Amino acid sequence: MQNRTFAAAVLLILVVALASCEKAEEQNPVREAAVHPVLEEKNTRVPLGAGTYYPRSRETLRRVTEEYLESARKTNKTGRIRMIVAPSAPLTYSGEIAADAYAQITRTGYKRAVIVAKKETKEIGVIVPEKNYETPLGEVALDEDAIKSIENSTLIHRGNDTTMRVEAQLPFLQTVLKNFTMIPLLAGRISTNQLNQLIEVIENLTDNETLVVVSTVFSRSKGYLEAYDRDSKCLTAINRMDLTKAAIDCEASSKFSMLAALAAAKRMNLEPEIISYKTSGDTVGNKDRVTGYAAIVFREKNGEE
């Protein structure tokens, strides 16, 4: 009875959040996803971000990513990390904040990443891309066996990923996890029943060998102080695992996907830790219209790393 009550409350919160999120994004379109790729006729997606989001050279990308990780903030908390939130912006804008999230991953054994983000197309449901991904650091294969286990529902559809939200995470994942497969879950408009399915999919995929990555930025096109104020309220809600407040207070490019992941984290009794927050005004200097970036990890409570 308690689980049904929790699920019903989560569904109501997130359905309301979806409506407000779609309205807000019509007024404030996501800029970091404005990429128009040409997909090759092979089973590997052309890397869209090489030379723009991150260095084109393999050696330079490896060096820059490792330097970010070496200088990242590290905490003393223990407990197996099951989920992180990291920015989906270019490395020069948000690399140091993304590194703060990835640097907390000190254990080995992750064999799969589930990357949760927003898709740009309007059809209802969740897109799982059809092609493997690639960066200058190499190719990352999709976990097709696991995808087959979840695509026999009204929720999952195969398609193309025309955004940078998944690819933006790959240089850090390739450096920290090294050999892994992945499942991108790109959510758009969704029905109430599909919402509950998405939460369950995220929860069921999160085993001991899986890291869930929520790829998102926070406040966009805000003044410097306004972004800090708005995102402070959002991060407080996340830190308290207050889904109602998070639905109201959080402005995020992947807001609906993020809220679904938060609901899954709450079901799994994970404990959040806010590692760092900065805006593009802090990282590149222009404070007139900024974007907010946060590094957050979710750990098992009272567990060993």
CATH topology of domain 2-300: Protocatechuate 4,5-dioxygenase; Chain B (3.40.830)
Domain residue limits, the chain: 2-300
Question: Does the pLDDT at position 97 exceed 60?
Answer: yes
Dist CA 45 CA 162 (whole Å)? 10
Q: Is 170 exposed, middle or buried (0-12, 13-18, 19+ CB in 10 A)?
A: buried
Cβ contacts of residue 64 below 8 Å, gap of 6+?
A: 54, 55, 91, 95
211 and 113 in contact (C-beta within 8 Å)?
yes
CA–CA gap between residue 39 and residue 23 (Å, rounded): 30
What whole-number distance in Å separates Cα of residue 171 and Cα of residue 136?
A: 9
Residue 116 to residue 49: CA distance in whole angstroms: 18
**pLDDT, tens digit, 9 for 90 and up, residues 11-65:** 555 655 555 544 444 444 444 444 444 444 569 999 999 999 999 999 999 999 9
What digits encode the pLDDT tens for the residues 238-290?
A: 999 999 999 999 999 999 899 999 999 999 999 999 999 999 999 999 999 99
Quick one: which of 232, 206, 201 has its CA closest to 219? 232
